[in-house]
Structure 1
Amino acid sequence: MLADTVPIYPLYALLFVATGLSDAEVSALFAIWSTVAVVAEVPFGAFADRFSRKWSVVAAGVCQAAGYALWTVLPGFTGFAVGFVLWGVGGAMSSGALEALLHDGLAAVGARSHFGVVIGRVTAVGLLAQIPAALLATVLFDAGGFALAGWVSVGTCLAAALVATRLPETPRPEPESYLATLRSGLSETARTPDVRLAVLVVAMLAAIDAFEEYFPLVAHDWRVPVALVPLATLSIPLAGAAGAALGGVVRLPPGVLLGGAAVLLAVAGFVGHPAGLAGVAVFYGAYRLVWVTAEARLQERITGDARATVTSVAGLGSEVLSFAVYAAWVYGGVVAVSVLVLVPALFLRRALGRARSASVGQLGGPSG
């Protein structure tokens, strides 16, 4: 909750414009952010496996806090660019490390089968944090402008890092060298068919979340007044949180569920009515449920010690595949995105099948 209750999130694009940056400069900043995320994802996953997953999560919060502090102290293209580099590095440090830390911690106390339930709750809380973040952004901006929102964001990230120091880390065998750890994770991803397919599907599902950036535009295109857009789209993250929370317990075929949600999204796109936002919310809830289920099944299939590295490969894939979502939006809007959602739906039964018995009870059976 602390890691995602960051009031600068709803404001940073406005901060860039208010500072005098051009559209080209803002786009360049986003390009820098994406590039760092792609380049750093797997190397920092291996770093977490080789050294410490817990301290990778802690360092991620510190890096983000440093980035926002830089934005606040040195507003301008250079300060924003370095801040995005720090944010990208922080995201890469926590991606994979958090899932691996949680999975091995549960396995150490004989609760491996609860991973789907717990990661679903973690995801749900992250989505629900958008609500206090938006409220804080409004209040803080009125009281002290971008600077106050920036410093409070620094504080929430540091608080999250402080809490992360209290997470238990399961002792592991004496680690290999960094390069050996990196090779081990990449090798398991490439050579183990079940892991490779699960990584691909998780990457495709994670990439779909890029559609979230367009929810306000969807509402605007469907004739929702600008002043009502935040309220009209509030149900979408709430539905996503509900779906994520159910991801480890609901016994429904994920391929059918995601396919049906994609069809509903397409219908809403064809109609183009404000009421269609309810369909978007249902889609997003179902999508988050499936994503959590797929993430849990991926963690179940990883058998080596380079768990964070393998998970980071999926994160890298999602960063690359998200460009397909951007392209789909440009060429066909909501309907094109719904067609794209059908692609991972076709692979889900094979990718998530043949679960080990340890997870059957939580993830809905061998064909779940």
Structure 2
Amino acid sequence: MLADAVPLYPLYALLFRAHGLSDAEISALLAVWSLTSVVAEVPTGALADRFSRTGSMAAGGVAQALAYVLWTALPGFPAFAAGFVLWGIGGTLVSGAVEAWLYDSLVDLGEPERFRRIYGRLDACELLAQVPAAVGATVLLPLGGFELVGWVSVATCLGAAVLAARLPESSRGGTEADSAGEPDAAGEPDAAAGGSDEAGSPASVVSGEPAESGYVATLRSGIATAVRTPGVRTAVIAVALLTSFDNIEEYFGLLAEDWHVPPNWVPLAILGIPLSGAAGALLAGRVRDTWVTPLLLTGVALLALAHLWARPAGLALVAGFYALYRAVLVVAESRLQDRIAAGARATVTSIAGVGTELAGLVLFAAWAIGGLPAALVLATVIALAVTPGMRSRNPSRPRAVR
């Protein structure tokens, strides 16, 4: 909650414009941010697997804080660009490490089946954090301008980094099934498990090798797991496709304005959408894997009805779509974590993050070409495409825990 309750979040575009940046320059900055995420995602995921998940999360908070220090102390295009590089690296340090730390910590407790429910709570916190972020921005900006907002954002990120550093580090042991090389859905030994392969097994990367060779082995092992293991590969694709569609939230404000909501009321009018998403994430623990495609198609139908209605009240249907979508997203993430061995968990999750960034470009292109109708077609295709990734691996076999 603290990591996402950053008062600069709803204001940084206004900060850029206040310092004379054009729309083209702002778009260029966002491109720098996205490109940094694509380049750094997998290498930082391997760092978390090789060294420390909690250390990676803490370093991510520090990097993001340094970005806001640059923005606040030296506002201007060069500092904004450098800040986005730092923020992009900070985000990738956290991405993958959080999911890996949570899942393996639950394995240490002998309760990996709780991941879906607790990850749903985490997802809900990230959405609910938009409320204190908006309130903080509204209160701080009149009191001290962008400078006060910036320094409070620095403090928020550093506070989150301190809390992350104090979390107990999880082990990388995984489950007995993982260690034994449990067959995947295709009946082949799971390369994500303890068996060795050409890329090096997860077991080898936590041994007493030199740091460089250990890191390279971890990176190669994670990539091999994501690419070569059928069950993991389909789950990675499902998570990447589903998460990429979350970029649609960037257009909620535009939809509200198109549907005759007065501009000054738009922020309040769309506030219920992330709150509904938080409710959906909290309820994800009750959702069965076989419900994923029907729920997502139902959400798409609600979004289509809202488009046909095109009135302010249609935002309630958008909120219904978002609740179902966020529930499905939590289920997809939990299925992915179930299939990854502990030693490669952050790396593989980061590979899914790269897929998310790249697939998100498809949504942007679809919206540019055909607006919401084109996005609805894309959502339908995604709903049908992710079905294989949601199939449980050996559903009749209980997962033994060490």
TM-score range, shorter chain: over 0.9
Report deviation, 1:38. 0.5
> Is the contact between residue 257 and residue 263 of structure 2 (CA under 8 Å) also seen in structure 1?
yes
Looking at structure 2, the residues matched to 38 and 106 of structure 1 have their Cα atoms a distance apart, in angstroms, of 29
1:246 aligns to what?
A: 283
2:191 aligns to what?
A: none
2:150 aligns to what?
A: 150
Correspondence 1:282 to 2:329: no
Report deviation, 1:353. 1.1
In the alignment, which of 308, 319, 328 is matched to residue 366 of structure 2? 328
Looking at structure 1, the residues matched to 397 and 321 of structure 2 have their Cα atoms a distance apart, in angstroms, of 25
Q: How does 1:37-56 map to 2 (within 5 A)?
A: 37-56=37-56
SS in 2 for 1:306: helix
Q: What residue identity is the alignment partner of 1:303?
A: A
Q: What residue identity is the alignment partner of 2:352?
A: A
Q: What residue identity is the alignment partner of 1:238?
A: L
Correspondence 1:187 to 2:213: no
2:35 aligns to what?
A: 35
Looking at structure 2, the residues matched to 14 and 358 of structure 1 have their Cα atoms a distance apart, in angstroms, of 54
Q: How does 1:44-83 map to 2 (within 5 A)?
A: 44-83=44-83
SS in 1 for 2:286: coil
In the alignment, which of 277, 301, 307 is matched to residue 345 of structure 2? 307
> Is the contact between residue 96 and residue 312 of structure 1 (CA under 8 Å) also seen in structure 2?
yes
Report deviation, 1:268. 1.1
1:104 aligns to what?
A: 104
> Is the contact between residue 253 and residue 349 of structure 1 (CA under 8 Å) also seen in structure 2?
no
Looking at structure 2, the residues matched to 24 and 345 of structure 1 have their Cα atoms a distance apart, in angstroms, of 34
Whose Rg is larger? Answer: 2
Greater shift in the superposed pair: 348-357 or 201-210: 348-357
In the alignment, which of 256, 259, 263 is matched to residue 219 of structure 1? 256
Looking at structure 2, the residues matched to 53 and 270 of structure 1 have their Cα atoms a distance apart, in angstroms, of 46
Report deviation, 1:249. 2.2
Provide the TM-score with structure 1 as the length reference.
0.95
4+ aligned runs moved over 3 Å, structure 1: 355-361
Report deviation, 1:360. 8.5
> Is the contact between residue 113 and residue 358 of structure 1 (CA under 8 Å) also seen in structure 2?
no
Q: Gaps (5+ residues) in structure 2?
A: 173-202
> Is the contact between residue 112 and residue 358 of structure 1 (CA under 8 Å) also seen in structure 2?
no
The 3 A distance-change label for structure 1 pair 359 and 225 is farther
SS in 1 for 2:284: coil
> Is the contact between residue 141 and residue 148 of structure 1 (CA under 8 Å) also seen in structure 2?
yes
Count of aligned residue pairs for this structure pair: 361
SS in 2 for 1:178: helix
In the alignment, which of 350, 353, 357 is matched to residue 319 of structure 1? 357
SS in 2 for 1:246: helix
> Is the contact between residue 69 and residue 151 of structure 2 (CA under 8 Å) also seen in structure 1?
yes
> Is the contact between residue 108 and residue 171 of structure 2 (CA under 8 Å) also seen in structure 1?
no
Q: How does 1:331-342 map to 2 (within 5 A)?
A: 331-342=369-380
Looking at structure 1, the residues matched to 396 and 139 of structure 2 have their Cα atoms a distance apart, in angstroms, of 47
Report deviation, 1:358. 9.5
2:389 aligns to what?
A: 351
> Is the contact between residue 104 and residue 171 of structure 2 (CA under 8 Å) also seen in structure 1?
no
Q: What residue identity is the alignment partner of 1:212?
A: E
Q: What residue identity is the alignment partner of 1:332?
A: G
Looking at structure 2, the residues matched to 243 and 335 of structure 1 have their Cα atoms a distance apart, in angstroms, of 24
Report deviation, 1:263. 1.6
Q: How does 1:192-203 map to 2 (within 5 A)?
A: 192-203=229-240
Report deviation, 1:269. 1.3
> Is the contact between residue 304 and residue 376 of structure 2 (CA under 8 Å) also seen in structure 1?
yes
Greater shift in the superposed pair: 334-343 or 178-187: 334-343
List per-residue Cα deviations over 1:313-339 (Å, max 9, x = no partner).
100000011011111211222222121
> Is the contact between residue 10 and residue 137 of structure 1 (CA under 8 Å) also seen in structure 2?
yes
Provide the TM-score with structure 2 as the length reference.
0.87
SS in 2 for 1:131: helix
Looking at structure 2, the residues matched to 194 and 338 of structure 1 have their Cα atoms a distance apart, in angstroms, of 28
Report deviation, 1:154. 0.5
SS in 2 for 1:330: helix
Looking at structure 1, the residues matched to 69 and 394 of structure 2 have their Cα atoms a distance apart, in angstroms, of 46
Correspondence 1:207 to 2:244: yes
Q: Gaps (5+ residues) in structure 1?
A: 362-368
Q: What residue identity is the alignment partner of 1:105?
A: S
Looking at structure 2, the residues matched to 355 and 114 of structure 1 have their Cα atoms a distance apart, in angstroms, of 17
Q: What residue identity is the alignment partner of 2:249?
A: E
> Is the contact between residue 113 and residue 359 of structure 1 (CA under 8 Å) also seen in structure 2?
no
> Is the contact between residue 188 and residue 304 of structure 1 (CA under 8 Å) also seen in structure 2?
no
1:3 aligns to what?
A: 3
Looking at structure 2, the residues matched to 304 and 170 of structure 1 have their Cα atoms a distance apart, in angstroms, of 10
1:296 aligns to what?
A: 334
> Is the contact between residue 104 and residue 342 of structure 2 (CA under 8 Å) also seen in structure 1?
no
List per-residue Cα deviations over 1:98-154 (Å, max 9, x = no partner).
100100000011010000011110010110000010011011001011011111100
**Aligned alpha-carbon RMSD (Å):** 1.6
Looking at structure 1, the residues matched to 371 and 397 of structure 2 have their Cα atoms a distance apart, in angstroms, of 38
SS in 2 for 1:332: helix
> Percent of pairs identical after alignment?
56
The 3 A distance-change label for structure 1 pair 18 and 306 is same
